[in-house]
């Protein structure tokens, strides 16, 4: 039995955070404190339900773990199959990436307003326990790949909106042109983390 209490604690703290600080006015505070909450969540690998941690024999999956009723934030698990690679894309809202298992490579891009060209920014390799932030203010264009070609990696992301339902952009690097997309989610059902009668049962 996964440690649902840990996930519930995170969701309660995130709900307080986005309710207490108007994210459109104080994005930096949400990112800072949200990053600390996410770091605490991914510091332990005992809470992600198994159904939300698999299924990507190739490519990647985005499982919705929770969406705030007011769509102020959503939480997803990204399952990266061996060698999985995203297109270059943006988010249009703030996002926090927490590495739970394995590792991923986060290649940032910046749009040069003068030329309209995408320019490569920093590359960071995230390993288990690491947290990275992005936002339209900080820069929110990147390409992500699994750092491993022989195993699955998993990262847990928090976004400042219902990320699977937002219109955002994929970029063609050769031409720096953007195409609108809506990612949706890979899962049709979400984990039941609210059955407290089962808390404390051992995994398996």
DSSP, collapsed to helix, strand or coil, labels residue 52 as: helix
Known binder of ligand: residue 142? Answer: yes
Within a 10 A sphere around the Cβ of 82, how many other Cβ atoms? 16
Rounded Cα gap, residues 33 and 36, in angstroms:
5
Rounded Cα gap, residues 145 and 80, in angstroms:
8
List, in order, residues 6 or more apart from 28 with CB less than 8 Å away: 137
Known binder of ligand: residue 63? Answer: no
Known binder of ligand: residue 44? Answer: no
10 Å CB burial of residue 122 (0-12, 13-18, 19+) is exposed
Query: Which residues are known binding-site members for Fe cation?
Result: 89, 91, 142
Query: Which residues are known binding-site members?
Result: 89, 91, 142
């Amino acid at each position: 039995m996964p440690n649902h209490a840990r996930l519930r604690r995170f969701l309660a703290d995130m709900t307080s955070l986005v309710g207490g600080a108007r994210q459109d006015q104080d994005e930096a505070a949400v990112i800072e404190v949200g990053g600390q909450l996410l770091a605490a969540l991914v510091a332990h690998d005992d809470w992600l339900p198994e159904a939300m941690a698999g299924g990507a024999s190739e490519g990647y999956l985005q499982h919705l773990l929770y969406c705030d009723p007011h769509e102020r934030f959503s939480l997803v698990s990204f399952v990266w199959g061996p060698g999985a690679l995203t297109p270059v894309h943006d988010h249009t809202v703030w996002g926090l990436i927490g590495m739970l298992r394995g590792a991923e490579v986060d290649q940032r891009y910046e749009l040069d307003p003068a030329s309209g060209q995408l320019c490569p920014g920093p590359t960071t390799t995230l390993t288990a326990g690491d947290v990275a932030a992005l936002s339209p203010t900080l820069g929110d264009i990147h390409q992500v790949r699994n750092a491993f070609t022989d195993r699955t990696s998993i990262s847990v992301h928090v976004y400042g909106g219902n990320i699977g339902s937002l219109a955002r952009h994929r970029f063609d690097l050769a031409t720096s042109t953007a195409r609108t997309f809506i990612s949706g989610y890979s899962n049709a059902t979400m984990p039941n983390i609210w059955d407290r009668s089962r808390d404390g049962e051992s995994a398996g």
